Each structure stands twice: as C-alpha cells, then as structure tokens.
Amino acid sequence: MSKIISVHSYRGGTGKSNITANLAATIAQQGKRVGVIDTDIQSPGIHLIFGMDDAQMDRALNDYLWGHCPIEEAAYDVSAVIRTEKEPSLDGAIYLIPSSLKAGEITRVLRDGYDVGLLNNGFRALVQRLNLDYLLIDTHPGLNEETLLSLAISDTLVVIMRPDHQDYQGTAVTIDVARKLDVPRLLVVLNKVLPTSDKDDLRQQVESTYDAPVAAIMPLDEEMIRLGSRGIFCLRHPEHPLSATIRAIAAQVCQEAS
C-alpha cells in the first residue's frame, strides 16, 4: 500500500530538502518507486540537489496548479541518480515534481495564490498514476494552508529541527498541530548538531519535550557543507557515517509507514 511522508521544519535552513532527497534516494535503492514533490512554491530548490536546473523543466507543479497540465506531466524520472556501474539496473525509481524557480511564477503565487485543494487531488493522482510506493513531500517551512493539507493526508511526518531555541518552540507548535490533525506517525530528526554536543542528553530532552521518538541526531558535517546541495550526499559518500544515519532514518520511515 502506498504511503505519503511529509518532511517538514518550522523554520528554513534546517537541511530539510537535503534530508528529503537523501531519504528518497535511499528508499529507491531498496527497489521502491518513490515520488518527491516540492511544495515549497515560494522558495523551491530540491530539484537542484537532483541535478536539475530551471532550463530543463518544461513543466512544474505550478503548471498543474494553474490548470495547464495533469500533475504527472510535471513529474521527471530522475532515477539515473541512484544507478551506478555496479548496480545499473536497480528496480527502484525516483520521480521528481519540482516547483518553478521562475520569478514570474513565484510572484504569481504570492500575488494570486492558488486552489490549495488541488494539491490533495494531485497527491492522490501521483501515487496512482505513477504506481508509487512512497510519496515524499518537501513542505514549505512554517504552517500555512498547503502545509496543513500535506500534514493532514500524511501517514508519517518527519520533523527536522536544529538544537536552537526558536526551533524548539516552532517544533512544539508543529507537533501539536500534527496531533490535532491525527497524523498517524511522528518522527523527529535533529540536524546540524555540534559534534561536541551530548547526543544522549539531546535525545532525552527532545523526546521528553515532544513525546515523540527521535529518529536520528545528525552532526554538523564539513563534507555535507562542502557538497553545497550539488548532489545527493549518501550517493556521493556511501561509506560516510552521515550516510549510515540517513539509511537508519529511511528504515524507520519505511517501518513506521508500513
């Protein structure tokens, strides 16, 4: 049965899109068909991590929302990113539905808005028409109408946060809203944690504060910073400890969503 996973953070800059892309690649490497949709229409960017630029996008999520095309026509097969010389014929696949980086499209969203209800229809259509095992939603930070819709239809919510006072408060709001929306599963990922931090203490503090499991604690990593969103970290550095952490999160996501 197909599952919808929302990856969300209350504030920007948490590494949400990078984690979403890495989770998608890791799950697809296990032979699953994975969709990734960028609903951060006001500040899109996950397509860059998959090696796409705006010039390669004939269609985007914006075109679907304006009624210009079915949503599957805005889906791009980016499965090549998970295939290597050692594994050229993996059964898994990744389909990316980007949002447009064109200034005019972003301005139109800010000025005119769009029918948020179309997103719900689009999510369901994608899962069915692309025969997806998982649909990962890279949400807009904070809580707005499309974010609330994404949470409401999700089987699992992965909340990305930093060990920062504003993130602690914002995450509390996010989790409270998710519980009011009856999201079945909640996971918290602490990202950009200083290597010298007491990880056991952090885990205990977060889990007791939110009554939700911490899926992983990810350190602030120089290699990840150096990559600068120019690719998918776990594919570039499969033996890196951070890649092992991503695989552990993916296993929990798949287990929680089963």
At 206-223, the pLDDT tens digits run: 999 999 999 999 999 999
**Contact residues for 66 (Cβ-Cβ < 8 A; gap 6+):** 114
Per-residue confidence (pLDDT) for residue 194, from 0 to 100: 95
Least confident residue range of 27-36, 140-149, 190-199, 223-232: 140-149
pLDDT tens-digit series, residues 138-193: 999 999 888 898 999 999 999 999 999 999 999 999 999 999 999 999 999 999 99
Counting residues of the chain whose pLDDT is more than 70, the rounded percentage is 96
Q: How confident is the model at residue 84 (pLDDT cuts 50, 70, 90)?
A: low
Query: Residue 110: pLDDT above 90?
Result: no
* Predicted local distance difference test score (pLDDT) of residue 86: 55
pLDDT for 258 = 46
Domain boundaries, the chain: 3-256
Confidence of residue 256 (pLDDT cuts 50, 70, 90): low
| Cα–Cα dist 172/210, whole Å | 7
Q: What's the number of CA atoms in the CB half-sphere (13 Å) around residue 150?
A: 27
Query: What CATH homologous superfamily does 3-256 map to?
Result: P-loop containing nucleotide triphosphate hydrolases (3.40.50.300)
For residues 49 and 229, the answer to whether their CB atoms sit within 8 Å is yes
Phi, psi angle pair for 238, to nearest 5°: -65, -25
Confidence band (pLDDT; 50, 70, 90) for 114?
confident
Check if the beta carbon of residue 56 is closer than 8 Å to that of residue 6.
no
Alpha-helix runs per DSSP H in the chain: 16-28, 46-49, 61-65, 103-112, 117-129, 145-152, 165-180, 199-210, 222-227, 233-236, 241-256
Of 78-82, 107-111, 182-186, 230-234, the one with minimum mean pLDDT is: 107-111
Cα–Cα distance between 208 and 157 in angstroms, integer? 18
Q: Which residues contact 15 (CB under 8 A, 6 or more apart)?
A: 160, 191, 192, 218, 224
Q: How far is CA 113 from CA 33, 107, 121, 168, in A?
A: 31, 9, 17, 30
